Structure 1
Amino acid sequence: MTVTRHFVLAAGGTGGHMIPAHAVAEELMARGHHVALVTDERGAKIPGIFRDAAVHVLPAGRMQGGPLGWVRGLRGIITGRDMARRMYETFRPSVVVGFGGYPALPALLGALKDGIPTVVHEQNAVLGRVNRLLARKVNAIATAYPDVQRLKPKYDHKVHLVGNPVREEVLALRDEEFPALTDESVFRLLVTGGSQGASILSEVVPEGLSLLPISLRRRLQVTQQCRAEDIERVRATYAEMEIPADLATYINDIPEKLNWAHLVIARAGASTLAELTVAGRPAILIPLPSAMDDHQTANVRELVEAGGARSIPQSRFTPVELAKQMQKMAMEPGALQNAARRAWNCGRPNAARDMADLLESIGTAPLMNTPVTVKPVTAPAGLDLSGAPA
């Protein structure tokens, strides 16, 4: 007999929220469950994910911009909540789980209104605003780190450490050996600043590499993500230094590049750190200072303390400092291999499995041999909310 449940996953429209949600969706569907995604227009456009699940775009107002902005934001949240509740009438979710970001809020509010069990997953080492708002009401709080700031001790009884789910392509790197590296072999460097790149990496990294000893510099091979406005300047700089460089505004094959790299220079987003630790790759990390609640600085703490990465605050991220840190990692015998092993030890490769176990343990009674239909929801102009799960 086929036993299935329905799960709604709600996530903000950035990779940091969407990638973990996608990994959990894949695990749930592999177990025979039906999954629907609630997100915003940005999330619905991220390529390569949620191809086999219904995707619902709901309004998700943000409370910003003064009194008029607050009114508009509240109206959007209420509209999104009511639309989610209409979806629940036919989809009948066993659990609604939020992965952070404002687009998750209406779906969770709708579930709370209808008495549907709810769970939130926090990818960062600081509890996000939406998750803080709902922490008291949800059934469980899943975390990626053992120590999460702004998570009140009174909620400890509902906290579950699961890690940050990653894509199967990254998980497959778990059993791969660290790339062979000798004093004479090519030294492969991956530089990535997130989905939009980071201008400061384009400014500092090429100049920092120019300060390295010639014995290391002549061995470099670089793959770097750049903003569109920076890419030609960076390409010319590398050409002048005679450093082979593959530059792109978006790196589609991150798992392949992680497997290729000896060292990664990156921001400290939650998904980046999860992928580094699952794959076991050493890194130099530059936390984004404008990140909400400075969560990227908190994110790096566990990995840096374990010896799997070095962190440089953006205020001190200069070519000289980068060159100094790279030499310590790249030229001391065994340093990179040791850092890779320590990063690997920080990985939580079973995060998607453990998250799915948690959701199954909380979900209401299963639906057996139940056909899946979702009545189309009347949406505002420009929003498509119809569809059924695969």
Structure 2
Amino acid sequence: MSISRHFVLAAGGTGGHMVPAHAVAEELIARGHRVALVTDERGAKIPNLFKNAQVHVLPAGRLTGNPRGWVKGIKAILEGRAMARRLYETFEPTAVVGFGGYPALPALLAALKDGIPTAVHEQNAVLGRVNRLLARKVSAIATAYPVVERLPDRFAEKVHLVGNPVREEVLALRDEEFPALTDESVFRVLVTGGSQGATVLSSVVPSGLALLPLSLRRRLQVTQQCREEDIEKVRATYAEMEIPADLSTYISDMPEKLSWAHLVIGRAGASTLAELTTAGRPAILVPLPSAMDDHQTANVREMVACGGARSIPQSQFTPVELAKQMQKMAMEPGAMQNAARRARSCGRPNAARDMADLLESIGYAPIMNDPLPVSSPMPTSLNLQGVPA
């Protein structure tokens, strides 16, 4: 007799929250379970995610700003909680898991109100605000790093280190060899600053590469993500230096680009770190100084300690410093290959599997012989009338 459980995954509308949630959803679906996603309008618009799951857009207020903003935010959260409870009446989840971001808050509050087992997944090395708010009440806390700042020791019994789930296409790179690299071969550099690029990378990286010794510079091949307002200036700079460069505002085939990259230069977001350590790719990372609680600086520490990356604070990220760090990595025989092995050593490729195991362990009352056919549609908009907040 088959057992199918229903899981609700709630995630904020950025790739950093949505991609791990998507990876876990695919693992749960592969095990025969049904999955519904709760997110905001931004999350629902991210392409190529949650094609096999129901997607529900709920209000998600933010508890920031002045007192008037708090009132508005609380109202939206309560509306979202009421809508989530209406969804749970129909979908009957055995567990609800939040992947961070304010859009996860109403769904988790609804689950707690209804006595449904809950979990949160923290992608960063600093516990995020929503996860911090709910840490005391949830059934389990999954982390991506062994040490997570702002996570009180008193919750240790329900903390589980699982890692940060990545897409199957990235996971497949773990079985591939590091791209062949000799003193004469092309040296491929991938530059990415997140989904919107980063102006500091556009201004520093081309100038830094120009300072490299000619023997290395003439071997370079660059793929770089840029903001739209920066791309033509960057293109002109590379053309002047005669460095082949493929520039775009969005890299849609990131796993493919990562597969042949010898070095990655970028930010230190949780998903970036997870992909680098899963695939085993060396990196020079520049943590975003304005990131909430400076979590990108915390994220990069493990990979640096493993020897798979070098971290440069943005205040010190100059063309000279970049060129110096690249020379240390690229011109010493075997250094790149060694850094790749070290990066791979701190990867957690089983994160999606382990997260799915955790959710199955906390979810109760499995639904036997799924009474709702997989093809049965769920409402995409929920009626709030008569639903208690």
TM over 0.5: yes
Residue 317 of structure 2 corresponds to 317
Question: What's the offset of the Cα at 1:172?
Answer: 0.3
2:331 maps to which residue? Answer: 331
Q: Check whether the contact 1:90–1:375 (CA below 8 A) recurs between aligned residues.
A: no
Task: Name the structure 1 match of 2:387.
Answer: none
Partner of 1:27: 27
> How big is each residue's C-alpha offset from its partner over 1:347-373, in whole Å with a ceiling of 9 and x where there is no partner?
100000000000001101110112325
What does the per-residue CA deviation read over 1:36-94, in whole Å, with 9 as the maximum and x for residues that have no partner?
00000000000001001000000100012201111100000000001000000010000
Please tell me whether residue 378 in structure 1 is matched to residue 382 in structure 2: yes
**Structure 1: how far apart are the matches of 2:90 and 2:171?**
35
Q: Which residue of 2 aligns with 1:349?
A: 349
Question: Offset of 1:206 from its aligned partner?
Answer: 0.2
Relative distance call for 1:183 and 1:103 in structure 2 (3 A) is same
State the distance in 2 between where 1:217 and 1:377 align. Answer: 55
1:83 and 1:151 map into 2 onto residues whose CA distance is 30
* 1:376 Cα deviation after fit: 5.9
Q: Matched residue pairs, number?
A: 380
Contact 2:118 2:138 (C-alpha < 8 Å) held by counterparts: yes
Q: Which residue of 1 aligns with 2:138?
A: 138
Letter in 1 for 2:21: A
Q: Residue 189 of structure 2 corresponds to which residue in structure 1?
A: 189
Deviation at 1:168?
0.2
Tell me how far apart the structure 1 counterparts of residues 365 and 83 of structure 2 sit (CA, whole Å).
24
Following superposition, the deviation at residue 204 of structure 1 comes to 0.2
1:66-81 alignment runs, 5 A limit: 66-81=66-81
Kindly indicate whether the alpha-carbon contact (under 8 Å) linking 1:87 and 1:377 is maintained by their aligned counterparts in 2.
Answer: no
Q: In structure 1, what residue type is equivalent to 2:191? A: V
2:240 paired residue number: 240
Change (3 A) 1:207 1:376: closer
Superposed CA deviations along residues 285-318 of structure 1, whole A, max 9, x for unmatched, are 0000000000000000000011000000000000
1 CA distance for matches of 2:248 and 2:381? Answer: 39
Q: Secondary structure at the match of 1:52?
A: coil
Structure 1 range deviating more: 368-377 or 351-360: 368-377
| TM-score when normalising by structure 2 | 0.97
In the alignment, does 2:64 pair up with 1:48?
no
Instruction: Provide the C-alpha distance between the structure 2 equivalents of 1:272 and 1:219, rounded to a whole number of angstroms.
Output: 25
- Provide the secondary structure at the position in 2 that maps to 1:284: strand
Which runs of structure 1 show a deviation greater than 2 angstroms over 4 or more consecutive aligned residues? Answer: 370-380
What amino acid does structure 2 have at the position aligned with 1:101? Answer: G
Q: Matches of 1:330 and 1:303 in 2, distance apart?
A: 18
Q: Which digits, 9 at most, give the CA deviation of each residue in 1:191-212, with x for residues without a partner? A: 0000000000000000000000
Structural mapping, 1:210-229, within 5 Å: 210-229=210-229
Q: Is structure 2 residue 86 aligned with structure 1 residue 86?
A: yes
CA pair 239-375 structure 1, distance change in 2 beyond 3 A: closer
C-alpha distance in 2 between matches for 1:378 and 1:264 = 44
Please give the per-residue CA displacement for 1:1-35, whole angstroms capped at 9, x wherever unaligned: 22100000000000000000000000000000000
| Kept in 1: contact 2:87–2:382 (CA 8 A) | no
Tell me, yes or no, if the aligned pair for 1:23 and 1:168 is still in contact at 8 Å.
yes
Look up the equivalent residue of 1:178 and give its one-letter code.
F
In structure 2, the residue corresponding to 1:119 is in which secondary structure? strand
Partner of 1:302: 302
Q: Is the 8 A contact 2:222 2:243 kept in 1?
A: yes
Cα drift, residue 133 of structure 1: 0.3
* Residue 98 (structure 2) aligns with: 98
AA matched with 1:111: A
Tell me how far apart the structure 2 counterparts of residues 50 and 148 of structure 1 sit (CA, whole Å). Answer: 28
TM-score (norm 1): 0.96
Tell me if the contact between 1:164 and 1:270 (Cα under 8 Å) persists in the aligned partners.
yes
Structure 2 letter corresponding to 1:33: H
Opposite residue 32 of structure 2, the aligned amino acid is G
Distance 1:154 1:287 in 2: 29
Unaligned residue ranges in structure 2 (runs of 5+): 385-389
Tell me if the contact between 1:11 and 1:39 (Cα under 8 Å) persists in the aligned partners: yes
Which residue does the alignment assign to 1:159?
159
Matches of 1:14 and 1:25 in 2, distance apart?
Answer: 16
The Cα of 1:164 is off from its aligned counterpart by: 0.3
Equivalent position SS for 2:76: helix
Give how far 1:375 is off.
5.3
The answer to whether the 8 Å contact 2:80/2:106 transfers is yes
Tell me the residue number matched to 1:291: 291
Cα distance, 1:378 vs structure 2: 3.2
Residue 232 of structure 1 aligns to a residue in which SS?
A: helix
User: Counterpart of 2:123?
Assistant: 123
Kept after mapping to 1: 8 A contact 2:56/2:380: no
Aligned AA for 2:113?
K
1:377 to partner: Cα distance: 4.6
Q: Any idea what the Cα deviations from partners look like across 1:196-247, whole Å, max 9, x if unmatched?
A: 0000000000000000000000000000000000001100100000000000
- Distance between the aligned counterparts of 2:145 and 2:29, measured in 1? 25
The one-letter amino acid of 2:382's match is T
Q: Note the alpha carbon deviations across 1:240-287, whole angstroms, 9 max, x for none.
A: 000000000000111101111000001000000000000000000000
RMSD over equivalenced CA pairs, Å: 0.9
